[in-house]
Amino acid sequence: MSFDVQAVRAQFPILSQQVDGKPLIYLDNAATTQKPQAVIDALMSFYTQTNANVHRGAHKLSDEATRRYEKARDQVAAFINANSREEVIWTAGTTEGINLVAHGLAKQLEAGDEVVVTEMEHHANLVTWQQACIQSGATLRVAPIFDNGELDIETFQSYLGPNTRMVAFPHVSNALGTLNPVKDLVAMAKRYDALVLVDGAQGIAHGGVDVQDLGCDFYAFSGHKLFGPTGIGVLWGRRSVLEDWPVWMTGGEMIAEVSYQSASWGALPLRLEAGTPHIAGAIGLGAAVEWFGSLDLAAVQAHEKALIESAMLQARNIEGMRLIGTAPNKVGILSFVMDNAHPADIGFILDRQGVAIRTGDNCAQPLMNRLGINGTARASFSLYNTLDEVDAFFVALRKAQSMLA
């Protein structure tokens, strides 16, 4: 197999549109990815042919909806190489997955316990643990990064110890693009039997994730950053850990028996999925992993590497442009600041030229403070971006630079 970017682009209807009369150049993929026709079709087909609630209907539509919904769970389980389908918990997204784990952990933590995160966290993988520590009296330890955005692994390691209960870090940093050595970090944490959660929001779409191989206990990601719908995500958890993880939300679907005064919980995965789920979203995400998994992932990675390398190279020729995040292992994300031009202004002028980027604190205020900046402009690439688009981005950027001079 190989990778034909034009053939892939053709499957994304939104990419052929124009913005203010200029071809859309979508470089905000770390915020959300666009959706291929296969995902749009799956959503359309669900709502036009089989919409019904799942697991409880006494009719054909409900059976079919349940079948498609649970098939999506199988598709995700296969995609991430889960040990079993029961380890795949549907959530609203990465944030909810982390919250599910953090709320459960908060009930078990006590003073003296430690939770280790890194300086490069997105708010979703920081505030959750910070609050769990505040509630329980445990200590939050924040492992430092180097100025280039790479994790200081020696110090990270020195923060681990017999009191470490949870270690949480991103697979890929949303603000810097840093690709963390997940397996190594997990192995270090496991010497102390700490639980490990990997924030996979940015990691999941950049290549095959094998949760068994990574060795972590939890891997959380969002469907919408993986070519799927918004509002659906996955918390993968190791079965032995998930089985008696404290329930976070209670309600329908997740119970075994209920009386007016008491209730008992059902089995995985439903015990952690209270209420009517995002059925269409799950089916859409199933279609997305099926679609993504059918690509030659090594060729996809090579293509994405070519994009970021071209961008890093061209950035060197732009006077006054400073890259934020230059770790040697880096994927998909070009964060930068410019002398004499505020990121918001750059964003405005790129937008007028059809180029969509993110500007601001990247939901990582402590990281921005650590780096001594207020925010960045961030171009983030996905598999459907082309080298021509990278070039066009720099043409647009030079225009912004000259207008703002």
Catalytic positions: 363
Q: Is 398 in the site for another protein (CB under 8 A)?
A: no
Among 29, 66, 359, 401, binds another protein (CB under 8 A): 359
CB atoms within 10 A of CB 356: 16
The tokens for 221 are: 């990601």
Contact segment (CB under 8 A) with another protein among 252-260, 297-305, 343-351, 386-394 equals 343-351
- Minimum CB separation of residue 54 from another protein in Å reads 33
- Minimum CB separation of residue 118 from another protein in Å reads 22
User: What residues have CB less than 8 Å from 97, skipping those under 6 apart?
Assistant: 89, 91, 218, 220, 221, 233, 234, 235
Q: Is 95 in the site for another protein (CB under 8 A)?
A: no
Among 144, 207, 208, 360, binds another protein (CB under 8 A): 360
Nearer to another protein, 175 or 185 (CB): 175
Q: Is 63 in the site for another protein (CB under 8 A)?
A: no
The tokens for 177 are: 């693009």
- Minimum CB separation of residue 342 from another protein in Å reads 4
Q: Which of residues 157-186 bind another protein (CB under 8 A)?
A: none
Q: Is 395 in the site for another protein (CB under 8 A)?
A: no
Nearer to another protein, 332 or 347 (CB): 347
Contact segment (CB under 8 A) with another protein among 225-233, 257-265, 312-320, 345-353 equals 345-353
- Minimum CB separation of residue 14 from another protein in Å reads 18
φ and ψ of 172, to 5 deg: -130, 135
The tokens for 263 are: 């209730």
Q: Which long-range contacts (C-beta less than 8 Å, at least 24 apart) are formed by 66-70?
A: 68/283, 68/286, 69/277, 69/279, 69/282, 69/283
Q: Which of residues 364-393 bind another protein (CB under 8 A)?
A: 374-375
Q: Is 361 in the site for another protein (CB under 8 A)?
A: yes
Nearer to another protein, 271 or 358 (CB): 358
| Helix residue ranges per DSSP H, 137-250 | 153-159, 182-190, 211-214, 239-242
Tell me the C-alpha to C-alpha distance, in Å, between residue 66 and each of 39, 274, 373. Answer: 18, 16, 49
CB distance 201 to 170 below 8 Å:
yes
Nearer to another protein, 106 or 400 (CB): 400
Q: Is 355 helix (H, G, I), strand (E, B) or coil?
A: strand
Cα–Cα distance for residue pair 85/98, rounded to 1 Å: 19
Cα–Cα distance for residue pair 233/288, rounded to 1 Å: 12
CB distance 22 to 353 below 8 Å:
yes
x/- map, 12-41, another protein, by CB under 8 A: --------x---------------------
Q: Is 269 in the site for another protein (CB under 8 A)?
A: no
- Minimum CB separation of residue 354 from another protein in Å reads 11
Number of Cα atoms under 13 Å in the Cβ half of residue 184 = 9
Among 338, 343, 393, 394, binds another protein (CB under 8 A): 343
Q: What share of the chain is helix, strand, coil (3-state, %, to 5)?
A: 45, 20, 35
| Number of amino acids touching another protein (CB under 8 A) | 16
- Minimum CB separation of residue 363 from another protein in Å reads 8
Q: Which of residues 283-342 bind another protein (CB under 8 A)?
A: 342
Binding site for another protein (CB under 8 A): 20, 342-345, 347-349, 352, 359-361, 374-375, 403-404
